[in-house]
Structure 1
Amino acid sequence: MRLVTSFLLAFLLITQSGCVPWIVGTAVTATAIAMKDKSLGNIIDDTTIMIKINKSLLKHKLFMSIRVKVSEGRVLLIGNVDTPDKQIIAEKIAWKQEGVKEVINEIRVTPINTTSMIDTTIDGMITASIKTRLLGKHNIKSINYSINTIDRVVYLIGVAQNRAELRSVLSIARKTKGVKQVISYVRYRHSKLR
């Protein structure tokens, strides 16, 4: 309902004003924030942490190998590197950032060039399939989840409304064609750990 109301408000503002680009951007941002279970401050803090980590990874030539996801100061590092030293460097970079509460290091050490373009494409298709299936469920706030797949292992981080929602998300991820394993770092909305 909030989504429909937000879109109607945005449409009304667009048709009644000459400031179309500003209003559209503001309406879209407001809608996204209203749908998430995080404050604007949390979203800004998480984005700042992610940008700083990615900037440091770029300096160390690790940016292309590692993906960074941040949820309420919790950093998830995933990807493949060819040496344990690179795995440790990435974790140290994450811990150095102000506001980081936890670092979850799921970076795998694998021989160089073992991931093919086909594997990367399959991982992308798995992620897209899960995201699409979550969007179609009225009892799941899909915007609260970050979903990534590496070597057909699905990683989830974010905020679940309750146990039933998380069970549904995990079930969808596990039943998606090609998935080997699902690893969840999702917290409940009312968890004391948040």
Structure 2
Amino acid sequence: MSALLKPLSRLLLPILLLLGGCSPAGFAVGVAASGGVAASSEKGFVTAVDDVGIRAGLNDRFFQRDLALFGDVSFAVEEGRVLLTGNVPTPADEVEAVRLAWQPEGVREVINELNVRDESSLVDQARDRWIATRLRADMMLDREISAVNYSVEVLNGRVFLLGIARNQGELERIKAYARQIPYVRGIVSHVRLLDAPA
């Protein structure tokens, strides 16, 4: 892959997945786009395709079950590991979100980082989106970091990382970027090292 196409494919994948939605055609676009990124990802093509399938299954189940829950819960998927973040109104909603997260075929772990009570204002939510966008940009611009290997979620100023670090130094670089961003209140890492067992 040329030096120009590699960063471009990293930028286009999330856009294609969002535009594709949950339709079969959208899923096919997402899988095809994953192929280009998977070539440079540590997890490989098959795992990338499996993760896209899990994400499509999560979207479908949450959407069919409860639109409010679908809007309240965000999820990232890496190597069959599902990270749940967001604010849900009741403990019953939290239990239901975890139950739904285990349903798609291929899910190996569900990491529950849900808040049961909504503590965030519109300003907090906008700030969280800004933090996530800035951290993702810092990661993509750093040649020492393979940003395609990570998912970033931010909730109430807490940064949640999920993915595969090629080495401890790469993970520490990401954490250092996160610490420099104003309003970050903490970093929670669910990242595994490449040479650690999956």
TM range (shorter): 0.7 to 0.9
Runs of 4+ in 1 over 6 A off after TM superposition: 25-28
Aligned length: 174
Amino acid at match of 1:72: E
- From the superposition, tell whether residues 118 and 50 of structure 1 become closer, same or farther in structure 2 (CA, over 3 Å): same
Matches within 5 A, 1:18-57: 30-57=35-62
* Structure 2 match to 1:128: 133
Amino acid at match of 1:134: M
- From the superposition, tell whether residues 45 and 121 of structure 1 become closer, same or farther in structure 2 (CA, over 3 Å): same
* Structure 2 match to 1:89: 96
Matches within 5 A, 1:84-123: 84-111=91-118, 114-123=119-128
- From the superposition, tell whether residues 27 and 181 of structure 1 become closer, same or farther in structure 2 (CA, over 3 Å): same
* Structure 1 match to 2:12: none
Unaligned runs of 5+ in 1: 11-24
Unaligned runs of 5+ in 2: 10-29
Give yes or no for contact 2:35–2:45 (8 Å, CA) kept in 1. Answer: no
Give yes or no for contact 2:132–2:152 (8 Å, CA) kept in 1. Answer: yes
Q: Select 1:164's aligned residue among 154, 160, 169.
A: 169
Give yes or no for contact 2:39–2:45 (8 Å, CA) kept in 1. Answer: no
Shift of 1:6: 5.2
Give yes or no for contact 2:54–2:104 (8 Å, CA) kept in 1. Answer: yes
Give yes or no for contact 2:34–2:49 (8 Å, CA) kept in 1. Answer: no
Rounded to whole Å, the distance in 2 between the matches of 1:118 and 1:3 is 40
Rounded to whole Å, the distance in 2 between the matches of 1:6 and 1:120 is 33
Q: Which stretch of structure 1 is more off in the superposition, 148-157 or 133-142?
A: 133-142
Rounded to whole Å, the distance in 2 between the matches of 1:153 and 1:130 is 12
Compare CA radii of gyration and give the structure with the larger one: 1
Rounded to whole Å, the distance in 2 between the matches of 1:30 and 1:73 is 17
Q: Select 1:58's aligned residue among 54, 63, 66.
A: 63
Shift of 1:188: 0.9
Rounded to whole Å, the distance in 2 between the matches of 1:90 and 1:163 is 32
* Structure 2 match to 1:15: none
- From the superposition, tell whether residues 48 and 39 of structure 1 become closer, same or farther in structure 2 (CA, over 3 Å): same
Shift of 1:31: 3.9
- From the superposition, tell whether residues 174 and 36 of structure 1 become closer, same or farther in structure 2 (CA, over 3 Å): same
TM-score (norm 2): 0.80
Per-residue Cα deviation, 1:34-68 (whole angstroms, up to 9, x for no partner): 22112211111111111111211112321100011
Shift of 1:30: 4.9
RMSD: 2.3
Give yes or no for contact 1:6–1:27 (8 Å, CA) kept in 2. Answer: no
TM-score (norm 1): 0.82
* Structure 1 match to 2:160: 155
- From the superposition, tell whether residues 29 and 55 of structure 1 become closer, same or farther in structure 2 (CA, over 3 Å): closer
